[in-house]
Chains A and B, each alone.
Chain A
Amino acid sequence: MNEPAKNHISSVVLNVFKTIKEFFFLFIVIIIKPSFRDIIIIGAIIILIIGYSFLKWYKTCFYIKDGILVYETGVLQKKILSLSMDKITTIDLSQNMVNKFFDTFRLKIDSGSVQTKGAEIDIVLKKNIAVSTRDILLRNPENYEKRSEYIENEWGRVFEASNMELLLTALTKNNLALGLGLFFSMYTFLDDILKAFNIKYMDAVSNFIDPGKIMNASIPYLILFIAEAISAVWIICIILSAIGTIIKFHGFKVYETNNNIKIEYGLINTKSYSLPIENVQAIILKQNIIKQKLGLYNIEISTVGYGNEAKEEAILYPIVSKRLMNELVSELIPEFQVQPVVQHAPRNTLTNFITVPLTISIVIFSIAALIYHKAIILFLLLPIILAGGYLNYKNSAIGFNNHMLKSVSGGFNRKIYIVRAISIQSVSLEVSPFQRRKKVGTYVLQYYASKLGDVVNVKNLSDSFFVQIKVLLLRE
């Protein structure tokens, strides 16, 4: 490892494809109506991309010198990153289709810096070099010889997710929100494609639905139409989500080895994460309303470097029952086993939880109804908003002991944070005039999270906890 290691040559191909993908729309538009000049431009761009990718490959290397990992990059301006090996928080090995073809792995290394977006070191290596590099980095260089043997053998209990569990994960997701999000993000894409073929969006839609008929329809018809449309989108989303989840998390397993949590999964894109247990700052449990009713949880861990990239979730296990959660915690992160008892929001704060969302919704719906009178059907959503406020009131809670802080918040989507007291960076209490009379406030706790802006936020809890949390913070 003292000799500089370069990216595998396949990274040039990967980089070319990645850059071309970014200019995808430009290429589509030019290809649909090609002219000689356009073809010359495309050719020149591709040659430039290949040349740049090759230079990038040539200029990127990494090596270990005196216990420091050195990573050199930069085409025009040389950048040298020196990372002390004991500061590494996450080592992630992943393999997509192209990597599989070349028998390579993408190795990503993260340090504790929360200011950096993505991994500090991102390199493609031949499989055997990638795996041995990871193993070397995970060992403490001082007792390398002593520990090398049992690193291979000492595994804790391996937790493997079955396909049934993955299916349950998919079925209990917020599939409708997912589908609507997908629809809106696809809208621009579809619009560009349709424009390229000289088709108007509304023309394409009106082949299936008559927009004029909908605009003039009666309110019951409108409600039925919206319900049917939502059901159709929902069913499609459930099917897609089930397929997507099973492919993404296929063969999911998590286990502890030599004070590191190892997480591996993936059918097409395989991933393998190694997270030092001592760097786990918090456990985050998420429950949508379906999961709340079924007593199931999404379990995530907050450790710098894991889950901070696009489309990456910091999951510890795809879906857990309370029993499995306790087993996972006691086996993998026993420090989080003893959890504090929580105190709920006082009874007189129920109005605080309900009044604000209800008032805002009524104002927005009224304006919408004034502009377009059939938007009055939006008022049918008020019971849902009311129920959301009530659930938020029931959930809102905070508790702490000498080492941990636990908070519960959210209505239909409940979030439970269990954070190590030592990881809490600051605590704020925000009090509105309505809260002041009731001696309550909103607690905002910043902690050492994988993403800046990841905060614990709990509403309408007694202001007396503030001094106690202050004492807890100053003690650690």
Chain B
Amino acid sequence: MNFEKLDKLAKKSWLISRLTAMIVVSGILITFRIIAHNALGDKVYIFSIVIVIIITLMAINAFVYPKIEYKQWRYSINEDCIELIHGIYFVKNTIIPVVRIQHIKTSQGPVNKKLGLSSMEIYTAGGVHKIPNINKEKAEEIAKHLKDKVHIKVISKLERLEY
């Protein structure tokens, strides 16, 4: 099976969006810590520890995880099924038969718009699966390819049933 990687800019996309989230959350927490300094009394050190833990985890999420996630993320789209492999500590391998696909959605956030990337959501009757940060043109091409495949599969299945 031929697996493909995400776009190389995926790491940059994750870094920018997570770093933005980190700066916003840190700003809110630190401002709250300064304003509520007196109100927190002797509990102020517990609150400071919690803030440090949250910011550290968000920093790891922004600076360390993108590299690992990019390394782990692989996907393959063939005649019958889509296979996704991803995860940091827990590696998840998912199989979605093409005939089960209900519809496909591509989306772009502000960061991905700048980088020319798209995320693809694959909907089945049981839930949604996402392939993040792939090249926009490629995402559209895959979405069209899958729509055609689903159409052909459904028609041949209906013909089989009628036969």
Q: Shortest CB–CB separation between residue A151 and chain B, in angstroms?
A: 25
Q: Which of A102-110, A200-208, A347-355, A441-449 contacts B (4 or more CB under 8 A)?
A: A441-449
**Contact B95–A473 (Cβ < 8 Å):** yes
Nearest-neighbor residue (CB-CB) of B84 within chain A: A428
Contact: B87 with A446, CB < 8 Å?
A: no
- Interface of B, secondary structure class, is strand
Asked if B95 and A470 make an inter-chain contact with CB atoms under 8 angstroms apart, the answer reads: yes
Chain B residues with CB under 8 Å of A448's CB are 125-126
What residues of chain A lie closer than 8 Å to B81, measured between beta carbons? 470, 473-474
A81 vs B155: C-alpha distance when bound (angstroms) = 26
The answer for the CA separation of A474 and B97 in the assembled complex, in Å, is 6
Identify which of B89, B90, B92, B124 contacts A446 (C-beta below 8 A).
B124
Cβ of A35 under 8 Å from chain B: no
Contacts of A453 in B (CB 8 A): 127
Give the complex CA separation of A476 and B126 in angstroms: 16
Q: Which residues of B contact A447 (CB under 8 A)?
A: 126
- Distance of A453 Cα from B127 Cα, bound (Å): 7
Let me know if A143 is at the binding interface, CB within 8 A.
no
Number of interface residues, chain B, beta carbon within 8 A? 18
Q: Are the C-beta atoms of B93 and A446 separated by less than 8 Å?
A: no
The answer to whether A432 has its CB under 8 Å from any CB of chain B is: yes
> Are the C-beta atoms of B127 and A425 separated by less than 8 Å?
yes
Q: How far is the CB of A350 from chain B (nearest CB, A)?
A: 20
- Counting CB contacts under 8 A, is A390 at the interface? no
- Give the CA-CA distance A449 to B127 in the complex, in Å: 10
Given A432-B89, A470-B81, A474-B81: A425 touches B126 (CB 8 Å cut-off): yes
State whether the Cβ of A466 lies closer than 8 Å to any Cβ in chain B: yes
How far is the CB of B27 from the nearest CB of chain A, in Å? 28
- Known contacts A470-B81, A474-B80, A474-B81; is A428 also within 8 Å of B93 by CB? yes
Q: In the bound complex, how far is the Cα of B89 from the Cα of A425, in angstroms?
A: 25
Nearest CB in chain A: distance from B66 CB, A: 20
Candidate in B80, B81, B126, B127 with the most chain A CB atoms within 10 angstroms: B126
Using CB atoms, name the residue of chain B closest to A448.
B125
Closest chain A CB from B78 CB (angstroms): 10
**B28 within 8 Å of A by Cβ?**
no
Chain A residues with CB below 8 A from B124, complex form = 425-426, 446
A428 to B85, CA, bound (A): 9
The answer to whether the Cβ of A86 comes within 8 Å of any Cβ in the partner chain is no
Asked whether A452 lies within 8 Å of B92 as measured between CB atoms, the reply is: no
Number of A interface residues at 8 Å Cβ cutoff, please give it: 26
User: B93 contacts A429, CB within 8 Å?
Assistant: yes
Instruction: Report yes or no: A430 in contact with B95, Cβ–Cβ below 8 A.
Output: no
Residues from chain A with Cβ under 8 Å of B127 in the complex: 425-426, 446, 452-453, 455
Write the nearest CB–CB distance from A207 to chain B, whole angstroms: 31
Q: Give the residue of B90, B92, B96 whose beta carbon is less than 8 angstroms from that of A425.
A: B96
Within the complex, what minimum Cβ distance (angstroms) separates B103 from chain A?
A: 10
In the bound complex, what is the Cα–Cα distance between A476 and B160 (angstroms)? 12
Contact at A466–B100, with CB atoms within 8 Å?
A: no
Contact call A428/B94, Cβ cutoff below 8 A:
yes
Asked if A433 lies at the interface with its beta carbon under 8 angstroms from chain B, I say yes
Chain A residue nearest in CB terms to B94:
A428
Residue of B nearest to A436 (CB): B91
Q: Check if A427 is an interface residue, CB within 8 A of chain B.
A: yes
B144 within 8 A of A: no
Instruction: Please tell me if B145 contacts chain A, counting CB pairs below 8 Å.
Output: no
Question: Closest chain A residue to B82 by CB distance?
Answer: A426
Residue interface mask B70-113, A partner, CB < 8 A = 1? 00000000001100000101111111110010000000000000
**CB-CB under 8 A for A430 and B126, given A470-B81, A474-B80:** no
* CA of A330 to CA of B104, assembled, Å: 39
**Cα–Cα distance between A74 and B58 once the two chains are bound (Å):** 45
Least distance between A367 CB and chain B CB atoms (Å): 12
Contact A446 B91 (CB under 8 A): no
B129 located at the interface, meaning its Cβ lies under 8 Å from any Cβ of chain A in the complex:
yes
The answer to whether B93 touches A466 (Cβ under 8 A) is: yes
A433, B89: Cβ atoms closer than 8 Å: yes
A-side contacts of B87, CB under 8 Å: 430
Q: How far is the CA of A431 from the CA of B90 in the complex (A)?
A: 5
Q: Which residue of B lies closest to A429 (CB)?
A: B93
B95 x A426 contact (CB < 8 A) = yes
Q: How far is A139 from B110 in the complex, measured between Cα atoms in Å?
A: 51
Within 8 A of B (CB), among A441-472: 446-449, 452-453, 455, 466, 469-470
Which of B92, B124, B125 has the most C-beta atoms of chain A within 10 angstroms of its own C-beta? Answer: B125
The yes or no answer to A114 lying at the interface (CB within 8 A) is yes
| B97 with A430: CB separation less than 8 A | no
> Do A427 and B91 touch across chains, with their CB atoms under 8 A apart?
no
Residues A426 and B96 in contact, CB atoms below 8 Å apart: yes
Contact for B92 among A114, A424, A430, A476, CB less than 8 A: A430
CB within 8 Å of A: which of B101-148? 124-127, 129
Q: Which residues of A contact B126 (CB under 8 A)?
A: 114, 424-426, 446-449, 452, 455
Please list the residues of chain B having a beta carbon within 8 angstroms of any beta carbon in chain A.
Answer: 80-81, 87, 89-97, 100, 124-127, 129
Please, could you name 28 A-B residue pairs with CB atoms under 8 Å apart, sorted by A?
A425-B96, A425-B100, A426-B100, A427-B94, A427-B95, A428-B94, A428-B95, A429-B92, A430-B91, A430-B92, A430-B93, A431-B90, A431-B91, A431-B92, A432-B89, A432-B90, A436-B91, A446-B126, A446-B127, A448-B126, A452-B126, A452-B127, A455-B126, A466-B95, A470-B95, A473-B97, A473-B100, A476-B97
Sorted nearest first, the 3 A-B pairs with minimum C-beta distance are A446-B126, A425-B126, A425-B124
New contact pairs (9) apart from A466-B95, A469-B95, A473-B97, CB-CB < 8 Å: A425-B100, A425-B126, A426-B96, A426-B124, A447-B126, A455-B126, A455-B127, A470-B81, A473-B100
